[in-house]
Amino acid sequence: MKRELKLSITIFVVVFLIDQIVKFGFANLAWDVNGPYMSLKLAYNYGVAFSMFAFLEHYLKYIQLVLVLLGTLYLFKNPNVFKEYYIPTALLYAGGLSNILDRFTYGGVVDYFYWHHWFEFAIFNIADVMIDLAVVIIIFKQIKQSREEKKQNEIKS
């Protein structure tokens, strides 16, 4: 368990710091760049994914902190879950807490990747990508586990 904890802390710190440094650059150093397919353009998201719940702008940071606290309590009570999912947990916490810090620091989440070739896509950031990656890893592991259990049940039958 110590190895998993050390690795998850390392992943968390690296992802969190990279995301915050890049966001600082966009928010304070005008790093905007326009490209033919994708642009790097500062935007603030006052809601959650695709700006949903923007009407909760001032309360979202507190709601999200409560959700992180509840998730942390769940992991403390279920260390086997953390041991199985320590990498996606680290990615999820790094991305989530980085976006929450933006809400306290900038008033909204700092976004900057803007895809606009063939279709316009929502503006997003590294933290969002890490959160999505964490969800994909969790789903992949769940599907894999389900298939293994199904095989085991077929062998027993």
| 111 assigned to active site | yes
d(CA 105, CA 138): 30
Q: Which residue has tokens 């996606």?
A: 88
**Which residue of the set 19, 32, 128, 132 is catalytic?**
128
**Catalytic one of 19, 102, 111, 132:** 111
Alpha carbon dihedral 124, 56, 28, 121, in 10-degree steps, equals 20
Spatial CA neighbour of 89 closest among 79, 100, 101: 79
19 labelled catalytic: no
Place of tokens 């890893």: 137
Maximum Cα interatomic distance, the chain, rounded to a whole number of Å: 64
Catalytic residue positions? Answer: 111, 128
